[in-house]
Amino acid sequence: MKDRIYQLMKYQGMSQKEFAATLCVAEGTLSGIFTGRTRPTNNIVNAIHECFPHISINWLMFGEGDMLLDGGSSQDEEAASGQSDLFAGASSPSSEANPTPSPAPQIQEVVKYIDKPQRKITEIRVFYDDGTFETFSS
């Protein structure tokens, strides 16, 4: 996941300092993630999701699918093309007279722990107060 966070930072054209400030995290936190000393927490993923809603959570967390959501574009691309969400629906006066509310999309976040295989107990040792012990193996 650290490589995808780094890729997102470069895609946004930000330095590590700017990216950390945008996410409201310490620069050292990002540095630790990029060097592999620490793993990204759910708070980091949530901050990225809030700051960059056009980025796919599945791509960020699991590397599945495309980086951008369908129809998504970065804020920099919108500014460069001169478009914004405010003017996207203002094509004709009749569309403003009869607005149809669209239901808000429901987002379900699923966290998969795929980094570590499930552990199994292979041996249990019981120590007694008389200095003896028993070993139970599977």
SS3 readout for 2-68: HHHHHHHHHHCCCCHHHHHHHHCCCHHHHHHHHHCCCCCCHHHHHHHHHHCCCECHHHHHHCCCCCE
- The answer as to whether 103 is a domain residue is no
Number of domains forming the structure of the chain: 1
Confidence at residue 55, expressed as pLDDT on a 0 to 100 scale: 87
pLDDT in tens, 16-66: 889 888 888 888 888 888 888 888 888 888 888 888 888 888 888 888 888
Which pTM value belongs to this model? 0.49
Express each pLDDT in 105-127 by its tens digit. 777 776 665 666 677 888 999 98
Segments forming the whole domain that contains residue 69: 2-85
- 130: in domain: no
